[in-house]
Amino acid sequence: MKELIRPAVSLFVLLSVVTGIAYPLLTTALVAPIFRDEAAGSLVVRDGRPVGSSLIGQNFAAPKYFWGRPSATAPQPYNAAASGGSNLGPLNPALAAAVKARVDALKTADPGNPLAIPADLVTASASGLDPHISPAAAHYQAARVAAARHLPEQTLNALIDAHTQDRQWGLFGEPRVNVLELNLALDELR
C-alpha cells in the first residue's frame, strides 16, 4: 500500500506546484506586458483617480444616469466577490416576480415611455456584474435621462450611438454599450 500512496502524493504535489504556481506566474509574466490594461483591472481613470472598471458594472440609480443590467450579487449590487447568476430557471415564480418588479420600476421612472422594455434591463447577466447594455436598452432610457438633464433626446441618442461597440472582431456577441463610459461621457456634456 505504501508503494501506491507515495507516488500518488508526489504526483499530486508536483502537479499542484506546476498548475497552481508555476503556470499562473509564467502566464502572468508573459501576458501582463502585452495586455497592460486588462492585467491592471481595466480601471477607468478620470482626473487622476479610478472611477470604476470597464469590466464590472456599477449601480447607477439616479434618473439623470443610464442604468445598467440588474445585478444578481448580494449583499450589494455589482459585488465582484459575490459574482454569480441567480440560478433561477425560466419557470421559477421568484424570477417572474423579480422581472415584474423591475418592469414596474422602469415604468414608474419613465411613465410616458411607449417603447418596449428590452430584456437586458430586467434580467441579470450570468455573472451579475455585466457592465454593458444593448443599444436598445440605452435608447429606451434616453428620454428619461434627457428630461432629467434638460438635454435634447437627439443629443443623447447620438451619444449612445457614439459609444456603441460592435461585435467582438465583427463576429462574437452583440453590439453593446458600456454604461460607465456612457455616463462619464454624459457628465462631460453638463
pLDDT of residue 190: 66
pLDDT of residue 67: 95
Q: What is the pTM of this model?
A: 0.79
Distance CA 57, CA 130 (A): 5
Q: Report the helix count and the strand count for the chain, using DSSP H and E.
A: 7, 5
Q: Are 94 and 88 in contact (CB under 8 A)?
A: yes
Tell which residue, 102, 103, 131, 130, has the closest CA to residue 116.
103
Give me the tens of pLDDT residue by residue for the chain, a chain 190 residues long: 778 898 899 999 999 999 999 999 998 888 888 888 777 778 888 888 888 888 888 889 899 999 999 988 877 888 877 777 667 888 999 889 989 999 999 999 999 999 999 999 999 888 888 899 999 999 999 999 999 999 999 999 999 999 999 998 888 989 999 999 999 999 988 6
Query: What's the farthest any 2 CA atoms get from each other in the chain?
Result: 79
Which cell is 33 given?
506586458
Please count the residues of the chain.
Answer: 190
pLDDT of residue 99: 92
Distance CA 97, CA 180 (A): 28
CA 74, 116, 65, 129 torsion-angle sign: positive
- 3-class secondary-structure state, position 186: helix
Tell which residue, 88, 84, 97, has the closest CA to residue 128.
84
* Identity of the amino acid at 14: L
CA 64, 69, 70, 71 torsion-angle sign: negative
pLDDT in tens, 57-88: 888 989 999 999 998 887 788 887 777 766 78
